[in-house]
Amino acid sequence: MILSSTLITITKIIGIIAAIIGTGIVSFIGLPIAILYLVIATIVYWQQTTPVFTGTEILIYTVITFLAVFLDNIVLFMGLKKSAASKRGYVGAIIGSIAGLFTGTLVGLALFSAIGAIIGELVHGKTTEDSIRSGFMTAVSLFLGSILRVVLTLIVAVDVLRKLLF
């Protein structure tokens, strides 16, 4: 019983650390996967011993997850709006973001998204200067949104690790 509890605790810690790394590198999926992992691990843990996390805590973590994903997207669209990006610029940024996901890095994601926004703006007929401004704002917005998401992930991770270890 103690061995299985220890093994589950170690598995949870590895899952949280992987989620933090996933949030910073893969950018979009780390925090939702962390919460899903936490819920599954907690359900398994509940079957074996006294629960470490209450349903309320998991609900709070889930709300933080949705808030992080929502704010990340809001920051991106605010950056595009600030640069007066057209609808084609938005579409280009989205297509670039999807292509950038395959790089597996935040830099690749931001770079491809910026290139997509620039191409979208050029197709729309904007000047090169305006297109580059939209691309730059897209990259900056992605970085700011990612920083926000990583901070929220760390808040959840520190709380989870505190409960698991102490």
pLDDT tens by residue, the chain, 166 residues: 455 667 767 777 777 777 666 655 555 556 666 667 667 766 666 666 666 677 788 788 878 878 887 887 788 888 888 888 888 888 888 888 888 877 777 778 888 989 998 999 999 888 899 889 888 888 888 888 878 887 887 887 788 777 767 6
First to last CA, the chain: 19
CA distance 117 to 108: 14
What is the number of other CB atoms lying within 10 angstroms of the CB of residue 58? Answer: 16
Show the beta-strand stretches assigned E in 15-128.
Answer: none
- Tell me, what's the pLDDT at 19? 67
Residue 134: what pLDDT?
A: 87
Q: Which domain, by its residues, includes 11?
A: 2-165
Which bin fits 162, alpha (ψ -120 to 50), beta or left (φ > 0)?
Answer: alpha
- Asked if 11 contacts 38 with a C-beta cutoff of 8 angstroms, the reply is no
Tally of domains in the chain = 1
Which CA distances in Å does 123 have to 60, 87, 109, 112, 139? 44, 11, 21, 16, 19
Burial of 1 (0-12, 13-18, 19+ CB in 10 A): exposed
Question: Are 71 and 153 contacting, i.e. CB atoms less than 8 angstroms apart?
Answer: no
Four-residue CA torsion sign, 25, 77, 158, 11: negative
- pTM of whole model > 0.75? no
Give the pLDDT score at 23: 59
Spatial separation of the C-alpha atoms in residues 151 and 75, rounded to whole Å: 14
Q: Give residue 25's pLDDT.
A: 55
